[in-house]
Structure formats: structure tokens, C-alpha cells
Amino acid sequence: MDSWNYAELKFWFDVLQWLVTIGLGFWVWISRAPRENKQAIAELEARLKKSEAEQEKLQVRLEYLPTKEELHQMGKELSGLASKLDSSAGRMKAIENKLDLLIENELRGNHAR
């Protein structure tokens, strides 16, 4: 029977082990980049979906905002209402003065009958 050189077998087994370990490390290093890219792409897709949803919400809100012409019309209507309130305030002041005179006459006992 042939005798085996165990020292030489151990050496070649150690070399093979080192080569497998280095090859595995190299494979992990190379395959890391696509996994990181997939993760980054997934994060970007999530951000894009979120942005699209927010954009849709804003578009719905913008549909209900008045146009420039409508704002101008509302401004004119508010100006008209303000002038009516000013004139009503003058009339209310006159009514208040008359009411004060009536109350004063009632308190003094000057009844106009």
C-alpha cells in the first residue's frame, strides 16, 4: 500500500481552504453592491409613491381654490359690503342716540303723552 504524505495533504488542504475563503469573501464583496442598490431603489420608490400621493392631494385642493377673476370679484363684493356696513353703522349710531334720549326721558319721568 502506498503511504500517504499527510504533511503535504495538510498543506494542500490549507491552501484549498484559503482559496475558498478568499473566493467567498470576494463573492460577498461583489454581490454587496447589487443588494445595496436594490435597497436604495426600494427606498426611492417608496419616497416617489409618497410624493405622488401628496401631489394628488394638493391637486384636489387646488381644484377648489378660487381663480384670479373669482378673487377679484370677491374683493369687489367685500368692498360693497364694507361700504354698506359703514352706512349702517351711521344709522345704528343715530338709532342708539334716539334710544338713549328715550331712556333718559323715561328715567326723568318726562313722558310724552
Taking the C-alpha atoms of residue 52 and residue 49, their distance in angstroms, rounded to an integer, is: 5
* CB 112 within 8 Å of CB 105: yes
Span 41-77, pLDDT tens digits: 999 999 999 999 999 999 999 888 889 999 999 999 9
Tell me, yes or no, if the pTM score tops 0.75.
no
* CB 89 within 8 Å of CB 82: no
Taking the C-alpha atoms of residue 71 and residue 61, their distance in angstroms, rounded to an integer, is: 16
Burial level of 93, CB count in 10 A (0-12/13-18/19+)?
exposed
